[in-house]
């Protein structure tokens, strides 16, 4: 073993702590994120209407934590739709969410920014894809002016019909054509759609901008069958230095809307603090050994 030279910020998704973004829930999320050793809190913007941006920013700052924001769209506000009014509502949500991310002090806005989170009953249409490209190009240009990046999170077929694999995402990023559009890999989704966890990581390489670490069932890391050792080696090989965020969901903590969109029907854990401490240790160990030569 050599020295611990990891540089990746390690994050945790706020749904490990609380199911809404009320001031009390955000204060709790910030306190617990700090107490369990993380560098960054990821906040889902699905409850943006109830988020006290100024208070949350102040709490994050005083704790010395970074922040990233994520979201998916909705079937009535979907930039991959053929319907111009539905696309327009989706673009407005993205614009508002980008502004909230900046106001919170974040530079990473990521997720299923290109579609609703849910099971589509048809493939993506050509018109729908053109709408995704033109809306995300405008959003990326707006984000670039603010020094921010957009992440295209690759999701499984039951949650989107736009990008299910790293190759899909690279093609979409090429078509958008803006340098601040980065790829976001999530091991939970990769397990469903990719051949393995290594090849897509190598394909994405220096366009990787954000990572979600989740087990195949989205519970405790290491309690499922994902080959995290190979995945972390691949991250080391491409010299990835961006955020690595632990994402886990249980029916113990429910956010109306998001939990249902993600089909969180099971109780995979009940003690978020124990889960988060364990995950931080797991990720830190993997980073430590993957950097050793
Ligand atoms: Mn994810």
What are the pLDDT digits (tens) for 66-101? 999 999 999 999 999 999 999 999 999 999 999 999
Reported pTM: 0.96
Computed over every residue of the chain, the mean pLDDT equals: 95
Confidence of residue 289 (pLDDT cuts 50, 70, 90): confident
Over the stretch 35-52, which tens digit does the pLDDT of each residue have?
999 999 999 999 899 999
* C-alpha 265 to ligand 1 mean position (Å): 17
Q: Average pLDDT of 172-189?
A: 98
* C-alpha 247 to ligand 1 mean position (Å): 6
Confidence of residue 201 (pLDDT cuts 50, 70, 90): very high
10-291, superfamily in CATH? Answer: Divalent-metal-dependent TIM barrel enzymes (3.20.20.150)
* C-alpha 89 to ligand 1 mean position (Å): 23
Q: Average pLDDT of 141-148?
A: 98
The reply to whether 91 belongs to the active site is no
pLDDT reported for residue 102: 98
pLDDT reported for residue 154: 98
Confidence of residue 290 (pLDDT cuts 50, 70, 90): confident
Domain ranges of the chain: 10-291
Instruction: Mark the residues whose beta carbon lies below 5 A from ion ligand 1.
Output: 186, 212, 247
Complete DSSP assignment for the chain: ---------EEEEGGGT-SS--HHHHHHHHHHHHHTT-SEEEEEGGGGGG--HHHHHHHHHHHT-EEEEEEEEBTTB-TTSS-HHHHHHHHHHHHHHHHHHHHHT--EEEEEEEEESS--SSPPPHHHHHHHHHHHHHHHHHHHHTT-EEEEE---TTT-SS--SHHHHHHHHHHH--TTEEEEEEHHHHHHHSS-SSHHHHHHGGGEEEEEE--TTSSSTTSS---HHHHHHHHHHTT--S-EEE---BTTB--TTHHHHTT--S-S-S-HHHHHHHHHHHHHHHHHHHT--
- Is residue 5 pLDDT above 90, yes or no? no
* C-alpha 1 to ligand 1 mean position (Å): 31
pLDDT reported for residue 2: 42
pLDDT reported for residue 273: 96
- Catalytic residue, candidates 42, 102, 153, 215: 153
Nearest to 70 by CA among 3, 11, 2: 11
The reply to whether 273 belongs to the active site is no
* C-alpha 68 to ligand 1 mean position (Å): 12
């Amino acid at each position: 073993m050599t020295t611990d030279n990891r540089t990746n910020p390690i994050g945790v998704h706020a749904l490990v702590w609380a199911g809404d973004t009320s001031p009390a829930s955000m204060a709790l999320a910030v306190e617990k994120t700090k107490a369990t050793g993380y560098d960054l809190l990821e906040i889902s913007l699905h409850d943006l209407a109830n988020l006290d941006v100024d208070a949350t920013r102040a709490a994050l700052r005083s704790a010395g934590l970074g922040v990233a924001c994520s979201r998916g769209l909705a079937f009535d506000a979907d930039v991959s739709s053929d319907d111009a009014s539905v696309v327009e509502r989706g673009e407005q949500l993205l614009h508002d969410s980008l502004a909230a991310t900046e106001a919170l002090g974040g530079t990473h806005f990521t997720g299923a920014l290109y579609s609703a989170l849910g099971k589509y009953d048809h493939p993506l249409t050509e018109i729908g894809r053109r709408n995704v490209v033109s809306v995300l190009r405008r959003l990326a240009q707006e984000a670039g002016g603010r020094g921010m990046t957009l992440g295209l999170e690759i999701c499984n077929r039951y949650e989107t019909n736009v990008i299910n694999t790293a190759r899909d995402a690279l093609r979409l990023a090429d078509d958008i054509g803006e340098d601040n559009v980065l790829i976001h890999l999530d091991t939970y989704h990769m397990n469903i759609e990719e051949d393995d966890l290594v090849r897509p990581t190598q394909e994405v390489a220096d366009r990787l901008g954000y990572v979600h670490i989740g087990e195949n069932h989205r519970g405790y890391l290491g309690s499922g069958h994902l080959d995290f050792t190979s995945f972390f080696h691949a991250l080391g090989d491409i010299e990835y230095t961006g955020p690595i965020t632990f994402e886990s969901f249980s029916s113990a903590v429910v956010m109306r809307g998001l939990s249902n969109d993600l089909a969180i029907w099971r109780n995979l854990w009940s003690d978020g603090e124990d889960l988060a401490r364990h995950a931080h240790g797991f990720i830190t160990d993997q980073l430590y050994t993957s950097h050793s030569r």
